[in-house]
Amino acid sequence: MFNIPVAISFTLLLSFPLIFLFAPQIFPSKHVDISIPDELDDLALFRRATLASIDGVGGAISRLGTTNPRMKIAFLFLTNTDLHFAPLWDRFFAGHDGRFNIYIHADPSARISRPGGRVFKGRFIAAKRTQRASPTLISAARRLMATALLDDPLNSYFALVSQHCIPLHSFDFIYNSLFTSQFPEYQSFIQILSNESYMWDRYVARGERAMLPEVPFDRFRFGSQFFVLTRRHALVVIRDRRLWRKFKMPCLNSDSCYPEEHYFPTLLSMEDPKGCTHYTLTRVNWTESVDGHPRTYLPSEISPELIYKLRESNSTYSHMFARKFSPDCLKPLMKIADNVIFRD
């Protein structure tokens, strides 16, 4: 005879392994681990990019046989959704061939439709999974830089942007600001802050002494996730092993875990603080941030005044990019693209 309680316990017992099988779906894991094969892939890529860059722009220029080659900006798109603003970027890039390259790191676990626009075609690089609050975002940015370093020796600035970023100026304005204003001493535009109130929590996110000895607390820095680096600094970033060993450790406290906001500013402030502006060109509105996300602008807020306001900074420079915008902002942004955003 079938005993119902026994049958129930039997079923429970049988289903126990199934819980493990389906656990990742039921309880989504907080961490996408960086596997050893992934790490080795990256190391091989970084090594190739480093070796190829040893003769640097100088070598490339002499090979091209020209004394005045066109320097390029490498635009590095880091995304885990569709590139909603591709049409706006298309218009931004139109007519400037030969002065930029685009590279896209799209999370392979997300179903991303590839934008149809001419400039984005064939620009997707070999990508791996990314996740917020994990060092995978650092890996993705380094992968983009290494690929861009390898791809074109004339890539001289490396601008990291996300799918939520928009340009605040025309291509010419940005290009000329980057290449003419500081010549011949190019600097990286990256925010580097210290002494912020939450720094200690961020510092001990992997354990109180976990960052020692490479990163003592007084050398730990904070900065914006999106930045524009010189070629020299992109090389510094992909050659680094010392700090990466620390920053790739998973956090114990996920509330204070934003490795990508600390790795780049800490590394560059250690290696070459004078080579960095310490401010970012990407405007973000952190008032009323929700769950670690900055304010996201909605279509009803898009206006010429907003663009002018976002360009403003407390200094002599103008912001060049801004985030975040909800995907449906595309239409109102396209309406003011030619008359406002790209008019400067």
Please give the residue ranges that form the binding site for ligand NAG (CB under 6 A): 194-195, 285, 287-288, 295, 309-310, 312-314
Mapped onto helix, strand or coil, the DSSP state of residue 322 is strand
Rounded to a whole number of angstroms, the minimum distance from the CB of residue 68 to ligand NAG is 36
Rounded to a whole number of angstroms, the minimum distance from the CB of residue 329 to ligand NAG is 13
127: closest CA among 45, 245, 21?
Answer: 45
Choose between 108 and 275: whose C-beta lies nearer to ligand NAG. 275
- Start-to-end CA span in the chain (Å): 85
- The answer, yes or no, to whether the previous bond of 331 is cis (omega within 30 of 0) is no
Choose between 74 and 168: whose C-beta lies nearer to ligand NAG. 168
DSSP 297: B
Rounded to a whole number of angstroms, the minimum distance from the CB of residue 263 to ligand NAG is 18
Choose between 185 and 288: whose C-beta lies nearer to ligand NAG. 288
Rounded to a whole number of angstroms, the minimum distance from the CB of residue 38 to ligand NAG is 35
For residues 246 and 53, what is the distance between their CA atoms, to the nearest angstrom?
26
Rounded to a whole number of angstroms, the minimum distance from the CB of residue 78 to ligand NAG is 23
Rounded to a whole number of angstroms, the minimum distance from the CB of residue 286 to ligand NAG is 8
Choose between 293 and 309: whose C-beta lies nearer to ligand NAG. 309
For residues 204 and 262, what is the distance between their CA atoms, to the nearest angstrom?
12
Q: Is 315 left (phi over 0), alpha (psi -120 to 50) or beta?
A: beta
For residues 69 and 248, what is the distance between their CA atoms, to the nearest angstrom?
38
Rounded to a whole number of angstroms, the minimum distance from the CB of residue 95 to ligand NAG is 30
Q: In the numeric block, which tokens belong to residue 22?
A: 């389906």
DSSP symbols for 160-192? EEETT-EESS-HHHHHHHHHHTTTTS--EEEE-
Choose between 50 and 194: whose C-beta lies nearer to ligand NAG. 194
Cβ atoms of residues 206 and 251 within 8 Å? yes
Choose between 22 and 308: whose C-beta lies nearer to ligand NAG. 308
Choose between 288 and 291: whose C-beta lies nearer to ligand NAG. 288
